[in-house]
Amino acid sequence: MSHELDLPPSLQAEVETARRHVSLSPELEARVMAAVRRRAASPQQRAWRWLTAPSLPPWALLAAAATALLAFVLLRPASVGSPGVASPLATAVGPESIYVRFILVAPNAREVALAGTFNGWDPTAAPLARADAAGTWTVTVALPVGQHQYAFVVDGRRWVPDPAAPAVDDGFGRKNSVVSVSAAQGRIL
């Protein structure tokens, strides 16, 4: 059924007129389409417009940025901090690191430090303290779970591997000591 049957005759004529197919001349159609193509953006331009056109209020962007910052702060790996408790060997700090005590007997040393992959080989980051008159030097550091290479730095210039730990060639003609930290058991190799 069609509603056109209900239209008054004057409107029926208008409808018939509007329905008639209008043909454009080929020249006019070509000019129109050329203009449309000129105005159409390239894919890159369309992508840029799509990305840059605002569709969220500024506060929403600020909220998103704040959320991202908060997530970064909360989810980043825990950094190695200074130990609060010393342990004879190793103590679980948390699921990601444990405290490990390093010992070197060096009676004639004036100063001893611990440098390794866990502190960027910085010879000033972990100085050992002299524990007794016999020349026992110790330091306790929190190490992330995993495997680390290290050496003692005696008097700021002499690199000494840990006699109590496995050692591997350091690639420079010396030896590095190796410590592996297992969080599941709070143990070291």
Partner 1 sequence: MNRPAAWLVLAMALGPELAAQDDVTARLAGRVPPAIAAAVSALADSARARGLPVAPLVDKALEGVVKGVPADRILPAVRTVLDQLDAAATALRGTGGTPPSDDAVEAGGFALAAGLTPGDLGAIAQSADRSHPTAVALQVAGALAAIGVPRAQTVGLVQASIQSGGPVGDLVSLPGQVQAAMARGAPPAAAAAGLERAAAAHQAPRPHGQGKGKGNPHRP
Phi, psi of 95, deg, nearest 5:
-70, -15
Does residue 88 touch partner 1 according to CB under 8 A? no
Does residue 97 touch partner 1 according to CB under 8 A? no
Phi, psi of 72, deg, nearest 5:
-65, -45
Tokens of 111: 């100063």
Whose Cβ is closer to partner 1: residue 121's or residue 136's?
121
Residues 166 to 185: which contact partner 1 by CB under 8 A? Answer: 166-172, 174, 176, 178, 180, 182, 184-185
Does residue 63 touch partner 1 according to CB under 8 A? no
CB contact at 8 A, 132 and 103: no
Nearest residue to 130 (alpha-carbon basis) of 160, 110, 153, 149: 110
Distance CA 155, CA 108 (A): 10
Does residue 54 touch partner 1 according to CB under 8 A? yes
Q: Is 40 exposed, middle or buried (CB count within 10 Å of its CB: 0-12, 13-18, 19+)?
A: exposed
Does residue 83 touch partner 1 according to CB under 8 A? no
Does residue 79 touch partner 1 according to CB under 8 A? no
Q: Which of 51, 108, 111, 152 binds partner 1 (CB under 8 A)?
A: 51
CB contact at 8 A, 101 and 139: yes
Does residue 84 touch partner 1 according to CB under 8 A? no
Does residue 140 touch partner 1 according to CB under 8 A? no
Binding site for partner 1 (CB under 8 A): 50-56, 60-61, 64, 68, 115, 117, 120-123, 146-147, 149, 159, 164, 166-172, 174, 176, 178, 180, 182, 184-185, 187-189
